[in-house]
Amino acid sequence: MIQDWPISKEVCNRLTSSDYNYEFSNAIRNKRRNEQILSEGYDKSSDSYMFPSGSFNNFSDAVIKENLFRRLGTVLHSPTREGLIQTVFSTANAAIVDEATAFPEDNDTFDKASFSSYKIAAVSKLNNRFIEDMHFNVEKYLTNEFARRFGRTEEQVFINGTGINEPSGLLMTAETGRSIDTAESLSYDDIIALYFATKPDFRKNGVWLMNDNTALILRTLKDKDGNYLWRQSDDTILSSPIVISPYMPDIAASSIPVAFGDLSYFWILERQPLSVKILTELYSRENLTGYAAYERIDCRLIRPEAVQLLSIKMHSHLRPLFKFQDTFL
């Protein structure tokens, strides 16, 4: 689920206008621009401009490809830096009643989830010869480049965030559904137990989350009759899809290498559209222009029981059968 930005319709229309697009393009190319038109997307506190709506939509589409939580989680938008988000959960069912029987009452649970605001930033530098080349689409390049950088940083933090000066990640907030003593003892039965530690309501849309090294080991697990745990025909375990992230830990001592559950309960709160500050003087000696982009964001697994973790307790000498090279620098 993705909600629209809570900015006025009038401002939104201006950010989609051809005038704002034209002046934003002039700004990022260091050309003369109309500051009055750009003021609709200008943030004085950071001396930055919001990307036009079309480019921000392209950024959103591109960042989804880089961050699995953007695809499987729930993205919300709020203009404030901190605050509470209303939540409601229901386990009520309908019932067959006769004409004289009262309707069954619900047992909905209303709550509030607290969200903060953490700044993710990046600087991209371009040679001025590229910027002056009208055949080079500066806006498209920056949109895709920032989507790549932000998406990968988001995914890493959304998994491993400690909650100290950064969001609390999935591994900090989900429940432990299965704990084993050593990495060497990981078995077919442990994965089955993790699956059934997850309540049926969260299993039906559940996914497995792990890295490549863990996936390679799980592919070799068999039951006592020699049947593989991992179904090769459609890359599922117990009919649930596998999602790979390079930011999940390896199978090792004191690690959490596998998570299973419904990631739609992982909420991402964006505080504002992508904005960029144009640095025309900082890198001028190198004939470069810098673009400092940032977003403010937070995340929360609002139902900790929706995702169950496999944790390993003790020291282990197990080494992955194959170590994939890290290509995500």
Q: Which pLDDT band, with edges at 50, 70 and 90, does 42 fall under? A: confident
Q: How far is CA 318 from CA 72, 183, 194, 213, 325, in A?
A: 31, 6, 21, 12, 18
DSSP string, 80-93: SSSEEEEEEE----
Q: Give the rounded percent of residues in the chain with a pLDDT score beyond 70.
A: 83
Tens digits of per-residue pLDDT, 156-177?
Answer: 999 999 999 999 999 999 999 9
Residue 93: the pLDDT is 67
Tens digits of per-residue pLDDT, 247-259?
Answer: 999 999 999 999 9
What is the distance between the alpha carbons of residues 190 and 197, in angstroms, rounded to a whole number? 10
Q: How many C-beta neighbours within 10 Å does residue 250 have?
A: 18
Residue 16: the pLDDT is 73
Closest CA relative to residue 307, chosen from 174, 211, 168, 204: 174
For tokens 């010869």, the residue is: 129
Residue 325: the pLDDT is 47
Q: Are 117 and 271 in contact (CB under 8 A)?
A: yes
Closest CA relative to residue 266, chosen from 304, 296, 308: 304
Tens digits of per-residue pLDDT, 189-248?
Answer: 999 999 999 999 999 999 999 999 999 999 999 999 999 999 999 999 999 999 999 999
Q: Is the pLDDT of residue 13 over 80?
A: no
For tokens 């745990």, the residue is: 229
Q: Which pLDDT band, with edges at 50, 70 and 90, does 315 fall under? A: low
CATH numbers and ranges of domains, the chain: 9-89+107-166+267-301 (3.30.2400), 175-265+304-312 (3.30.2320.10)
Q: How many C-beta neighbours within 10 Å does residue 249 have?
A: 19
Helix, strand, coil percentages (3-state) for the chain, rounded to 5, are 35, 30, 40
Question: What is the DSSP code (8-state) at residue 298?
Answer: E
Question: Quick check: helix, strand or coil at residue 253?
Answer: coil
Q: Give the rounded percent of residues in the chain with a pLDDT score beyond 90.
A: 67
Q: Is 165 left (phi over 0), alpha (psi -120 to 50) or beta?
A: left
Report which residue type is found at 115.
F
Residue 195: the pLDDT is 98
Instruction: Tell me which long-range contacts 133-139 makes (C-beta under 8 A, separation of at least 24).
Output: 138/25, 138/28, 138/29, 139/24, 139/25, 139/28, 139/51, 139/52, 139/55
Query: Tokens standing for 185?
Result: 């003892």
What is the distance between the alpha carbons of residues 114 and 162, in angstroms, rounded to a whole number? 16
Work out the average pLDDT over 66-80: 89
Average pLDDT score over the chain: 87
Q: Is the pLDDT of residue 329 over 50?
A: no
Q: Which pLDDT band, with edges at 50, 70 and 90, does 300 fall under? A: very high
Q: Are 30 and 278 in contact (CB under 8 A)?
A: yes
Most confident segment among 81-85, 182-186, 210-214: 210-214
Q: Which residues pair with 239 in a beta bridge?
A: none
Closest CA relative to residue 30, chosen from 238, 278, 200: 278
Which pTM value belongs to this model?
0.84
Residue 45: the pLDDT is 85
- Looking at per-residue confidence, does 3 or 303 come out higher? 303
The 3 state secondary structure assigned to 141-187 is HHHHHHHHHHHHHHHHHHHHCECCCCCECHHHHCEEEEEECCHHHCC
Q: Is the pLDDT of residue 126 over 90?
A: yes
